[in-house]
Amino acid sequence: MLAGMLAGMLAGLRTGLRTGMLAGLCAGLLATAAPPAQASHARARHRQPAATVHPAHRPPACRRHACARHAPAAVPAAPLFAAEPAAQPAWTVYAGVLALQNQTSMGDLTGMNTPAGLRLRGGDATTPALGILRRLGERLSVELALGVPPEVDTVASGSGWTRLGVAGGSVLARADVVSPTLFLNWHLLGTRGRWSPFIGLGLNYTHFANVRPQPALSATLGPTRLGLSDSWGAAAHAGLHYRLSPRWSLLAAVALTQIDTTLSSTSSAVTVGGQPLVTSHSTAGIRFRPLSYTLALGYSF
């Protein structure tokens, strides 16, 4: 009887082992065939719960704004538009004073009833200076030099006037000189600094307006008509801009201008019948090389 019981227990044990092995094999096959999500859920169901830690034993919480290890690297925000330097005013107007120093070269007046030794020279003058300048870039600018037309005297020079009874140095004629000049300037240190030295070359136009004889000439030669032809010539200048502020500046410059003109003089006498009679006519080429000195205050906009 005891032997039968032992045999029954061994048979049951073998049956249980075979059943367990088959169940384990089936579970392994199902776990292999299941998708990753399902497998993770299956593992989660069988995972042991985490050990509970008392709050007093927990490490201090890492705050993101205080912990450098968890703080993201600072990345500067890129501006939508790159900042540009402040624009420099393109235009400058200036006003001041201009001193004109004439240098004259000419031969004797020649013509009908004209004695030898009659020469002329231009006198000096001072006048308000005006101008406008347009900046073309860091180094270049274009400038129009104007001014109130100065009143320039023509003075007797040469021994021939003394023989006619005219003292040397007497003012024989007077004219208003309209003489704008257009310059292209090169700024040696650029146009943005406080100091801006420059040199420039240009073209000058000169017109002699309201040419009128003076009493010393009319008393000697009689009523006289005078004329001076217009002139186109080269000009050069050098100077300095000194910036007082972004808008205001001082300008100092010296310029040399080429002016070539022809003088014509016609004198007459009144006959008994009231008709004018030409008594003398003379012409001469005159080369003016005036030096002009300008000091002015400029405003940029």
Distance CA 169, CA 64 (A): 96
Distance from C-alpha of 238 to C-alpha of 102, rounded to nearest angstrom = 18
Give mean pLDDT, residues 171-176: 96
233 domain residue, yes or no: yes
Predicted local distance difference test score (pLDDT) of residue 283: 96
C-alpha closest to that of 88 among 195, 288, 245, 240: 245
Nearest-angstrom CA–CA distance, 130 and 99? 13
Residue 33 located in a structural domain: no
Q: Which pLDDT score, from 0 to 100, does residue 272 have?
A: 65
CA 205 – CA 201 distance, rounded (Å): 14
Percentage above 70 pLDDT, the chain: 71
Q: Structural domain of residue 260, as residue ranges?
A: 95-300
- The 3-class secondary structure across the chain, one letter per residue, is CHHHHHHHHHHHHHHHHHHHHHHHHHHHHHHHHCCHHHHHHHHHHHCCCCCCCCHHHCCCCCCCCCCCCCCCCCCCCCCCCCCCCCCCCCEEEEEEEEEEECCEEECCCEEECCCCCCEEEECCEEEEEEEEEEECCCCEEEEEECCCCCEEEEEEECHHHHHCCCCCCCEEEEEEEECCEEEEEEECCCCCCCEEEEEEEEEEEEEEEEEEECHHHHHHHCCEEEEECCEEEEEEEEEEEEECCCCEEEEEEEEEECEEEEEEEEEEEECCCCCEEEEEEEEEEEEECCEEEEEEEEEEC
Q: What is the mean pLDDT of residues 243-264?
A: 96
179 within some domain: yes
pLDDT at 156 over 50: yes
| Higher-confidence position of 184 and 40 | 184
Between CA 120 and CA 113 the distance in angstroms is: 17
| % of the chain exceeding 90 in pLDDT | 62
CATH, residue 265 = 2.40.160.20
The domain total for the chain is: 1
Is pLDDT of 5 > 60? Answer: no
The pLDDT-based confidence of 274 (bands split at 50, 70, 90) is confident
User: Model confidence at 258, in pLDDT bands (50, 70, 90)?
Assistant: very high
Look at the pTM and tell me if it is higher than 0.75.
Answer: no
Model pLDDT for residues 72-118, shown as the tens digit of each residue: 555 454 444 444 445 679 999 999 999 999 999 999 999 999 999 99
pLDDT band at residue 270 using 50, 70 and 90 as cut-offs: confident
Lowest mean pLDDT among 21-30, 159-168, 181-190, 235-244: 21-30
CB-CB contact of 179 with 257 (8 Å): yes
249 contact partners, CB below 8 Å, separation of at least 6: 92, 94, 241, 242, 243, 297, 298, 300
Asked if residue 12 is part of any domain, the answer here is no
In a domain, residue 148? The reply is: yes
Q: Is residue 15 in a domain?
A: no
Give the mean pLDDT of the chain. 80
Q: What is the pLDDT of residue 14?
A: 54
- Residues 6 or more apart whose CB falls under 8 angstroms from that of 200 comprise 143, 183, 184, 185, 186, 236, 237, 238
| Residue 239 near residue 293 (C-beta atoms within 8 A) | no
Q: Point out which residues pair with 162 in neighbouring strands.
A: none
What is the token pair recorded at 260?
Answer: 């070539």
Q: What is the pLDDT of residue 58?
A: 53
